[in-house]
Amino acid sequence: MTTIPRPLVVAYASLSILLPAAGLPWPILLPAGLVALLAIGELWLRAVTGPPAEAGLPAVRPGLTVLAGLLTLPAVALLLHPLGVRVASVPLIAGAALLATGLALAARLRRGGPGRRGEPLPGEPEPWAVPGSVAAVLLPIVLTLIGGGVAIRAVERGARPELPGYLTVALNGWAAGIRHPVAVPERGLAVPVRVTNSGLPTTTQWLRLRVAGAIVAARPVTVVTGKVYALNVQLPPLPPDGCLRPVGISVGGTGTVFYARSSAVRGRAAC
């Protein structure tokens, strides 16, 4: 009886160190968390296979303890989600403590008292040792899969917030392939743009053309929600000085920019 509560006491002590109220540094929290998981893993094995003296496969028992302990944390997290509990440090610690308590009770009930019926004689192997060891590995995995399935179904059926709408302005047609400064002829240049309104209410915005930061043309455009518009913006001739100028095309507060210079350069560049 005295050997069963020891992993439970270790689990309680280690989990209490992990509480945020303790305010301990991570060099202490990290080993405490590992010790807590190992203690809970030991409780898993004792609840399923019995104490070390009764369980079979002693060589693999440490590995099974580590595996069961590591699977405990994601299993608790997956079970908290469908219950509507936020997965945070305190709920995880409380869930791990409750699980450790339940495993300790199960281990005590499985072991029973002295002189129980069907108890093997000294030196006789436990009849359920090997199946119990296999169950110790499979049970945490099955619980994780079940909890994960429940959580996924809850997320799929849960309410999803609507995605925010957006308005985009992008170069279209031949202008979409601009990689270098554009040479603007003396007659000007028609620049195709694409305006997309996704999810925003129908509004009337100003379509502005800026050259070197100065507005050279503007007109109102109505953008309907869920619509895509192909527009042409007429870029006037640029001064024939060979200087690069940023050209901005915007609708409301959204826009795109490219660089351009005049194709007719007279004399030396003045910039």
The CATH number linked to 198 is 2.60.40.2550
Q: With bands split at pLDDT 50, 70 and 90, how would you rate the model's confidence at 67? A: confident
Same domain for 142 and 247, yes or no, is no
DSSP 116: -
Q: Tell whether 37 and 150 lie within a shared domain.
A: yes
Q: Are residues 68 and 144 in the same domain?
A: yes
Beta pairing partners, 41: none
Does 78 share its domain with 184? no
What is the C-alpha separation between 245 and 189, in angstroms, rounded? Answer: 14
Same domain flag for 180 and 249: yes
Please state the rounded mean pLDDT for residues 219-247. 92
Residue 122, in any domain of the structure: no
138 in a domain, yes or no? yes
The answer to whether residues 152 and 201 belong to one domain is no
The pLDDT value recorded for residue 169 is 95
Structural tokens at position 198: 């996704």
Tens-place pLDDT, residues 181-221 = 999 998 999 999 999 999 889 999 999 999 999 999 999 99
> Are both 257 and 208 inside the same structural domain?
yes
Q: Is 13 contained in some domain?
A: yes
**Integer angstrom CA distances of residue 197 from 146, 208, 255:** 42, 17, 13
Same domain, 44 and 134: yes
Q: In 3D, which of 181, 183, 189, 190 has the Cα closest to residue 262?
A: 183
* Within a domain: 118: no
Instruction: Classify residue 268: in a domain, yes or no.
Output: no
Domain count, the chain: 2
Confidence of residue 26 (pLDDT cuts 50, 70, 90): confident
Sign of the four-CA dihedral 9, 12, 15, 17: negative
- Residue 271 inside a domain? The answer is no
For residue 269, being part of any structural domain is answered with no
Residues 30 and 131 both lie in one domain: yes
My answer on whether 210 and 256 are in the same domain is: yes
Cα separation, 153 vs 78, whole angstroms: 11
Whether residue 237 lies inside any domain: the answer is yes
Is 142 in the same domain as 249?
Answer: no
Say which residues have a Cβ less than 8 Å from residue 71's Cβ, sequence separation at least 6. 140, 141, 143, 144
Same domain, 206 and 138: no
| Range(s) of the domain holding residue 206 | 166-262
Q: Rounded distance, CA 184 to CA 109, Å?
A: 87
- The strands making up 228-235's β-sheet, listed across from edge to edge, are 166-171, 189-198, 228-235
pLDDT of residue 185: 92
Q: How many CA atoms lie within 13 A of 183 on its CB side?
A: 5
Distance CA 28, CA 43 (A): 23
Instruction: Kindly state the average pLDDT of the residues 45-49.
Output: 80
> Which of 157, 174, 209 delimits the end of a domain?
157
pLDDT per residue as tens digits for the range 87-136: 788 888 888 888 888 888 888 877 664 444 444 444 444 544 445 555 55
